[in-house]
Structure 1
Amino acid sequence: MNTKSLTLRWNKRHWVLLTSLLLVLCLVMPQWASAHAYVVKASPEENELLVTAPQRLTLEFNESLQTAFYNIKITDPDGNQADDGNVQIDPQRPHILETGLRSGLGDGTYTVSWKAVSADGHPISGAYVFHIGEPSGSPAGLKDLASGSGAAGGPLKWIVSFTDWIQYLGLSVMLGILAFLLLRIAPASLQREPMDVPGSYKLLWISYGAASFAALVSLPLNTLYESGVDLNQFSWALIGSALKLTSFGQIWMLQMLIALLIAVTLLSGYDLDRTIRVRIWSSYGTLLLVLGWLLTHAMTGHPAAAEQRVLAVTMNFVHLVAAAFWIGALTAMAVCLPLLTNRLPAKVRGEIYWVTLRRFMAWGMGAVAVLVATGIYGSLVILPAPVLTSLFTTAYGLVLIGKIALLVVMLVFAGYHTKRAKAATGERLSRSLKAELAAGAIILALAAILTHLSPGQPASAGPYQGTETTEDGSVITLQVSPNVTGENQFEVSIKRADGSVVKDLEQVTLSLTHLDMDMGIYEITIPKNETGIYKADDYISMPGNWSIKVHALTRSLDALDAEFSIKAAKP
């Protein structure tokens, strides 16, 4: 049976069955944790009014925290330190962050700001207030604190994503070239021995060098990212803490060991003084080490915080390997294959070229099936419910849409290449293969970005405006601008059923309740005025879903009530 008929049989039968089976498994497997760590309960609660000063402040998170780069700062109404400086993660309950408070604290409003590193390796931070006795008003500078429970990092997050992307690219090219050499994608007639492929040695070393350099500089970059310190505060002690106390530091040391071993096996695989058997086995060793390096990446990010961590990491690893093989083997098709076929007599170059492409398509279809199935699975379990809503309303979902769109572009190119390979006519596919490869490189960039995005963080939807009608026909309108964590303007207007503005209100009260975290109720009171438009500048402390209840009381003691749901984003 020739390669072409084998490819067609798999195309019609086995790949459809395999893809269907994987998709069914995706739908029946359980979910894992879908976002960075966030506060589920605080004591004292947000905006809680206490009669006496508490002795301790406790923050309970939805998942474990890493034992490095965490802190809680509590300041009194005058801006002085109110905590005792003894911040710790409970050894028996690693999802609890707590600190003691100083004795003799007076009445007023206290500010709590905290930071930590979640189990998935992402820095998180937040701020809120509580009151002892009579509140003293919103503290100055509260809006400048890291509000909410979201990832920190700023521009540094994108630099870290860039180093991840370079590693993905380098490892993909290495995996694809090695697969091209060792899996005999090219017919045996093209090669005197598996390692005899023009350009392969140079490509392997270039991709290895790029991946190794990116991994090397990722240590100080990730240390800065996770610790949240300024560049002038960076020190070797911070790097030591990252290596000893964070999951990234431990994985980084493993990556460096793998990188050193790869250098040895690469040199051995192309050492002409060694036997062909030793060279081939050395190259298989390089292939296994590249897979090990990809596994270290699969062990970081969102799967690291999963309840079923082994399953999450396994699915992520398979997804990474499928993508890396497809993109890396495309590199071999675009760069090495033309150089290899040019060795042959002109009359047989075309035939061998198309046979090689058909062999690659047989492998490629398997990689695509696995890639699509694991991608759908990851989307279903990482994005918070409802999945379709999260897909279009979160930054994670929007980037994922871009990744899916580029995957469709790659599939279109793959279909075109498959058709040409079956026909075995026409010029070589140099330009279209490179175009497909470019789309794959961008997909890897988006994958690196997704690693550092929170699936639960809504994308900015702009200012909010909603209208509700009460039982007596009155219309209550609420506007929140800019509808992000930090300082916002809340505006309420109320009209009667006949369209006239209600001006005889004693006060309007807004009650804010976070729907994703147990942080209590935060109230904003707007006193009466003569305009009929009620405005207040106050803050939203956390991103996510909020319920805002509007309660208006008229001079005749009639109550007008309405409830609104908003999604606040990070600025």
Structure 2
Amino acid sequence: MRVRSLTLHWSKRHWALLTSLLLVFCLVMPQWASAHAYIVKASPEENELLVTAPQRLTLEFNESLQTAFYDIKITGPDGNQAGDGNVQIDSERPHIMETGLKPGLADGTYLVNWKAVSADGHPISGAYVFHIGEPTGAPAGLKDLASGSGATGGPLKWIVSFTDWIQYLGLSVILGTLAFLLLRIAPASLLREPMEAPGSYKLFWISYAASSFAALISLPLNTLYESGVNIGEFSWALLGSALKLTSFGQIWMLQMLIAMLLAVTLLSGYDLDRSLRVRIWSSYGSLVLVLGWLLTHAMTGHPAAAEQRVLAVAMDFVHLAAAAFWIGALTAMAVCLPALTNRLPAKLRGEVYWAAIRRFTVWGIGAVAVLVATGIYGSLVILPAPLLNSLFTTAYGLVLIGKILLLIVMIGFALIHAKRARAATGKQLSGSLKAELVTGAIILALAAVLTHLSPGQPAPVGPYKGTQTTDDGSVITLQVSPNVVGENQFEVSIKRADGSIVKDLEQVTLSLIHLDMDMGIYEITIPKNDTGVYKAEDYISMPGKWSIQVHALTRSLDALDAEFKIEAAKP
């Protein structure tokens, strides 16, 4: 059975129209979604002052939580646990986590420390305080705890990212080599059957072994990562919980099934005892299975938490598949194509070699168009607004910029190769092709890192200093240092329009309101003094954007007001 050759006879105008439609589609379709869950409402609220002790504590998140590896610990002012230990996620409302409190709690400040696994499979944790009766100050160690919607995992997430990268590389080589042989990018005149190419068998099995091993060890690694336990606490029961209760565990079982089926189809594709038709269809089966394996990775990443989940996962899968095809086919071109053309007389090698490069260029143009379009979509869906701020002030955004720059470099190599292919002159591609491959491998590494980075965590911004002018010309200056979660120094100075310091103030009140979550109002009162500079040591318990409203009252009962907006970072 002969496999039909697939050749695209599209003009530049057709490609430009297709690319434009894809870009427009990506710009108008996405629904904003923040990867990693975060609290949208808490009861009791952040810094809430309660007259009597509550019976329950409820945390409401922006998205559903997974029913594994979650907990809430409430520590009282005496250091003892105030929760009743019955922590649960509401089965009908899986975005709500709650627990009961012990009766008869004493007055003071209570620390809430929680952890969970968000819908996209990433562990999150946070901490905040509330007060019963008179506050007793910031609990010791608050600044060392994660707050808000921060992701956890530490160094382990980089090991998990490494296993993802190995899978991406291995699957890319298998996919690209299959495409190189089945889609007739390889010179058909040199192959008696599609899978007959020197080096392809070794490429398949090295890549398969690496991908399968990385996938196999990813289960215990992800279990440790999502549960947050030490390696000494690892157990089979913990592994069972990951398989039954987490999305990654369920998808991992699907990956193992795909891996076993892929071994069968790869063997069948090279089994000379089978008919040519069976071997060809087995090879196409391998192609479908590799695409299915890549799809499972899209189902466990940030798109899994998007508002339009199916569309977001589909776009991420197409993005990953396009990158895998490009990088994998380049590998096949570097390994298999020279060996094939060396079978020909010397005078024919160049002609056949450059013809294959030109055929790959047609597919490469389509891959680039898909990568750009789906990349824009993914950025719009995952990065929180404002987009430019998230792009340049978060670790996710900076890694994404690096990925974009490397993609541009890769496209530059591709243009050089396309130009040489049109001219059909010179020696075969070697050094530049390897450089393009290395660039592609680094891009896949960055893609694996992005999977485990939170796009919503701001970079450290340093101490804050701002100035506002009131209607009567007075100048109010606010300084917050170090402007991170934990203990901070708040300093307010007020000057008249003539530059003199206002010293007749009865008190200065700071009202702190978190702008990303509804956590209530936290007030700091600074009593009068003779210096004209008002300082207070207090704490910020949540990263992100805050509104600080300064209210100063003079002895003549005149009010001086100003509002400042700061962005506090994690310590």
Question: Quick check: 1:104 aligned with 2:104?
Answer: yes
Question: Partners of 1:569 and 1:335 in 2: how far apart?
Answer: 48
SS in 2 for 1:130: strand
Question: Quick check: 1:384 aligned with 2:389?
Answer: no
Task: Give percent identity, aligned residues only.
Answer: 86
Question: Partners of 1:43 and 1:338 in 2: how far apart?
Answer: 67
AA matched with 2:29: M
Q: 1:75-94 alignment to 2 at 5 Å?
A: 75-94=75-94
Q: 1:43-442 alignment to 2 at 5 Å?
A: 43-442=43-442
TM-score normalised according to structure 1 size:
0.95
Tell me: CA distance 1:259–1:136, structure 2 relative to 1, closer, same or farther (3 Å). same
Residues 35 and 306 of structure 2 are in contact (CA less than 8 Å); yes or no, is this contact kept in structure 1? no
AA matched with 1:271: D
Q: CA RMSD in A?
A: 1.8
**Pairwise CA distance, 1:281:** 1.7
Superimposed CA distance per residue, residues 82-101 of structure 1 (whole angstroms, 9 cap, x where no aligned partner): 11000000111111100000
Question: Partners of 2:198 and 2:41 in 1: how far apart?
Answer: 61
AA matched with 2:483: N
Question: Partners of 1:221 and 1:488 in 2: how far apart?
Answer: 37
Q: Paired residue for 2:445?
A: 445
Question: Quick check: 1:478 aligned with 2:478?
Answer: yes
Residues 480 and 488 of structure 1 are in contact (CA less than 8 Å); yes or no, is this contact kept in structure 2? yes
Superimposed CA distance per residue, residues 293-331 of structure 1 (whole angstroms, 9 cap, x where no aligned partner): 000001112211122211111111111111111111111
**Pairwise CA distance, 1:413:** 1.2
Residues 485 and 540 of structure 2 are in contact (CA less than 8 Å); yes or no, is this contact kept in structure 1? yes
**Pairwise CA distance, 1:562:** 1.6
Question: Partners of 2:529 and 2:435 in 1: how far apart?
Answer: 64
Question: Partners of 1:553 and 1:205 in 2: how far apart?
Answer: 77
Tell me: CA distance 1:206–1:489, structure 2 relative to 1, closer, same or farther (3 Å). farther
**Pairwise CA distance, 1:278:** 2.0
Question: Partners of 1:108 and 1:317 in 2: how far apart?
Answer: 51
**Pairwise CA distance, 1:172:** 0.8
**Pairwise CA distance, 1:81:** 0.8
Question: Partners of 2:101 and 2:118 in 1: how far apart?
Answer: 24
Question: Partners of 2:528 and 2:24 in 1: how far apart?
Answer: 59
Residues 488 and 538 of structure 2 are in contact (CA less than 8 Å); yes or no, is this contact kept in structure 1? yes
SS in 2 for 1:490: strand
Tell me: CA distance 1:528–1:237, structure 2 relative to 1, closer, same or farther (3 Å). farther
Question: Partners of 1:448 and 1:373 in 2: how far apart?
Answer: 19
Q: Paired residue for 1:462?
A: 462
Tell me: CA distance 1:414–1:273, structure 2 relative to 1, closer, same or farther (3 Å). same
Please list every run of 5 or more consecutive structure 1 residues that lacks an aligned counterpart in the other structure.
1-5
Question: Partners of 1:389 and 1:382 in 2: how far apart?
Answer: 13
Residues 125 and 148 of structure 1 are in contact (CA less than 8 Å); yes or no, is this contact kept in structure 2? yes
Residues 109 and 131 of structure 1 are in contact (CA less than 8 Å); yes or no, is this contact kept in structure 2? yes
AA matched with 1:166: I
Question: Partners of 1:74 and 1:433 in 2: how far apart?
Answer: 58
Please list every run of 5 or more consecutive structure 2 residues that lacks an aligned counterpart in the other structure.
1-5
Superimposed CA distance per residue, residues 481-529 of structure 1 (whole angstroms, 9 cap, x where no aligned partner): 3333333333333333333444444433222211111111122233444
Residues 459 and 569 of structure 1 are in contact (CA less than 8 Å); yes or no, is this contact kept in structure 2? yes
Bigger CA drift: 66-75 or 185-194?
Answer: 185-194
Question: Partners of 1:552 and 1:530 in 2: how far apart?
Answer: 15
AA matched with 2:314: T
Bigger CA drift: 395-404 or 54-63?
Answer: 395-404
Tell me: CA distance 1:456–1:343, structure 2 relative to 1, closer, same or farther (3 Å). same
Q: Paired residue for 1:3?
A: none
Residues 463 and 481 of structure 1 are in contact (CA less than 8 Å); yes or no, is this contact kept in structure 2? yes
Question: Partners of 1:554 and 1:428 in 2: how far apart?
Answer: 83
Residues 83 and 100 of structure 1 are in contact (CA less than 8 Å); yes or no, is this contact kept in structure 2? yes
Tell me: CA distance 1:239–1:347, structure 2 relative to 1, closer, same or farther (3 Å). same
**Pairwise CA distance, 1:173:** 1.0
TM-score normalised according to structure 2 size:
0.95
SS in 2 for 1:68: coil
Question: Partners of 1:271 and 1:531 in 2: how far apart?
Answer: 89
